[in-house]
């Protein structure tokens, strides 16, 4: 059974790799989605067939509840709300990593990593990192969702010495992990959770709503690394491979998006684009401001009506600004003037 499960996990891993390859192009994206669904189905069924699974009723109940909620949300969600939906789902991935790590910490004998109070040091490091990254992903994704949904202002929320506080919390997290490894203390574990939750809020608050797509991509990467860390704790090769795939692909995508938007990848990771004091003070309300010129779809159409062809490249910024209706109105006006309107994806 162990050999068969390892083989099936390998097949699932290949499916996930093919899914990423398919999603790299619009022409093959549908096929990529099918590979991803097939890989996840194989992974779930293989895990349920393992002899360590003793009871199925709670698993089936959880799948039914989660699947039902996911189905309803997927049917009702509008295309323009997909960015915040992805952010919300990322938060659940991070929270799941925290729960799994806490489960392994309090019941290590079930995972073969020791007994309470005497857990293997390597496993403690893995579960501590998975917990910290998962907690950061959870609260950071909640902030991203709230900004995209308009529940809080999309403006960067900054305050004095914000980056110093983030750095201090990061150093504190490392020290807490050292304490945990040396003492097996449950107090250290829970403080890691609390500090990481606070750090997730503070890292995302300084980033403006229009830049949230890059943040969501980076949070996706975080969720992958959290899963990989927990995979080492659980000694689950599939979780390690899948987490590494999500983590690396999310990081690469974030870097590509940052290059395209002329942003610094380090500012994304460290909490805030253009983290210099000048940018921060300007975002907070001080500093020099430019002149904003507002215009209607009719104004934009009037400016471009003399063109023979207009190509529109929609991006996440359009969805964040809820500008798709105005864009459609402008396109209709241009078509009435005989202008050829095309969309580049």
Tell me: the pLDDT tens digits for 130-143?
899 989 989 988 98
C-beta separation of 17 from 9 below 8 A: no
Q: Which of 47, 38, 184 is nearest to 118 (CA)?
A: 184
As a whole number, mean pLDDT of residues 57-81 equals 84
pLDDT of residue 282: 38
Residue 295 has pLDDT above 80, yes or no: no
Going by pLDDT thresholds of 50, 70 and 90, the confidence category of residue 269 is low
Q: 209-237 as b/e, with b when 16 or more CB fall inside 10 Å?
A: bbbbbbbbbbbbbbbbbbbbbbbbbbebe
C-beta separation of 324 from 318 below 8 A: yes
Q: Which of 268, 135, 259 is nearest to 207 (CA)?
A: 268
pTM reported for the whole predicted model:
0.73
pLDDT of residue 44: 87
Going by pLDDT thresholds of 50, 70 and 90, the confidence category of residue 285 is very low
Residue 248 has pLDDT above 50, yes or no: yes
- 151 three-state secondary structure: coil
C-beta separation of 207 from 225 below 8 A: no
C-beta separation of 58 from 47 below 8 A: no
- Of 97-101, 185-189, 237-241, the range with the lowest mean pLDDT is 237-241
DSSP letter for 321, please.
Answer: T
Residue 234 has pLDDT above 90, yes or no: no
Going by pLDDT thresholds of 50, 70 and 90, the confidence category of residue 190 is very high
pLDDT of residue 35: 92
pLDDT of residue 122: 86
Whole-number Å distance between alpha carbons of 135 and 225 = 12
Q: 142-176 as b/e, with b when 16 or more CB fall inside 10 Å?
A: bbbbbbbbeeeebebbbeeebbeebeebbeebeeb
Sequence-ordered list of residues with C-beta below 8 angstroms from that of 78, at least 6 positions apart, any chain: none
pLDDT of residue 38: 93
Tokens at 68, concatenated: 């039902």
As a whole number, mean pLDDT of residues 289-317 equals 77
Residue 175 has pLDDT above 60, yes or no: yes
Tokens at 248, concatenated: 């690396």
pLDDT of residue 203: 85
pLDDT of residue 76: 82
Whole-number Å distance between alpha carbons of 38 and 193 = 34
pLDDT of residue 187: 93
- Of 82-86, 109-113, 217-221, 268-272, the range with the lowest mean pLDDT is 268-272
Residue 272 has pLDDT above 70, yes or no: no
Residue 276 has pLDDT above 60, yes or no: no
First to last CA, the chain: 46
Q: Which of 82, 87, 219 is nearest to 147 (CA)?
A: 87
pLDDT of residue 247: 86
Exposure of 42 by Cβ count < 10 A (0-12 exposed, 13-18 middle, 19+ buried)?
Answer: buried
pLDDT of residue 82: 76
Whole-number Å distance between alpha carbons of 280 and 37 = 43
* Residue owning tokens 């669904």: 37
C-beta separation of 50 from 5 below 8 A: yes
As a whole number, mean pLDDT of residues 245-265 equals 80
Determine what percent of the chain is predicted with pLDDT higher than 90: 14
Q: Which of 338, 289, 7 is nearest to 155 (CA)?
A: 289
């Amino acid at each position: 059974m162990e050999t068969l499960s390892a083989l099936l996990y390998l097949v699932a891993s290949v499916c996930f790799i093919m899914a990423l390859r398919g999603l790299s192009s619009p022409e093959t994206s549908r096929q990529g989605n099918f590979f991803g669904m097939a890989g996840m189905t194989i992974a779930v069924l293989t895990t349920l067939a393992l002899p360590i699974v003793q009871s199925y009723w709670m698993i089936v109940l959880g799948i039914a509840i989660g699947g039902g909620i996911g189905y309803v949300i997927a049917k009702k969600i509008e295309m323009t709300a997909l960015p915040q939906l992805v952010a919300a789902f990322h938060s659940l991935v991070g929270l799941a990593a925290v729960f799994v790590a806490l489960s392994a910490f309090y019941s290590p004998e079930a995972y073969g990593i020791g007994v309470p109070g005497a857990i293997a040091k390597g496993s403690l490091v893995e579960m501590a990192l998975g917990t910290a990254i998962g907690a950061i992903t959870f609260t950071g994704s909640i902030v991203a969702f709230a900004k995209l949904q308009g529940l809080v202002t999309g403006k960067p929320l900054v305050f004095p010495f914000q980056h110093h506080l983030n750095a201090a919390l990061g150093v504190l997290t490392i020290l807490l992990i050292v304490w945990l490894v040396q003492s097996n203390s449950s107090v250290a574990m829970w403080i890691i959770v609390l500090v990481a939750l606070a750090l997730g809020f503070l890292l995302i608050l300084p980033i403006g709503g229009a830049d949230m797509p890059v943040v969501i991509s980076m949070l996706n990467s975080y969720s992958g690394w959290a899963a990989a860390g927990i995979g080492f704790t659980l000694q689950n090769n599939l979780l390690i491979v899948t987490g590494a795939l999500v983590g690396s692909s999310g990081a690469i995508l974030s870097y590509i998006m940052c290059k395209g938007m002329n942003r610094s990848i380090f500012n994304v990771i460290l909490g805030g684009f253009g983290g210099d004091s000048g940018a921060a003070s300007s975002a907070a309300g001080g500093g020099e401001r430019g002149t904003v010129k507002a215009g209607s779809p009719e104004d934009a159409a009037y400016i471009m009506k003399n063109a023979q062809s207009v190509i529109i490249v929609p991006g996440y910024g359009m969805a964040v600004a809820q500008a798709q209706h105005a864009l459609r109105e402008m396109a209709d006006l241009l078509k009435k003037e005989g202008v050829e309107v095309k969309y580049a994806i």
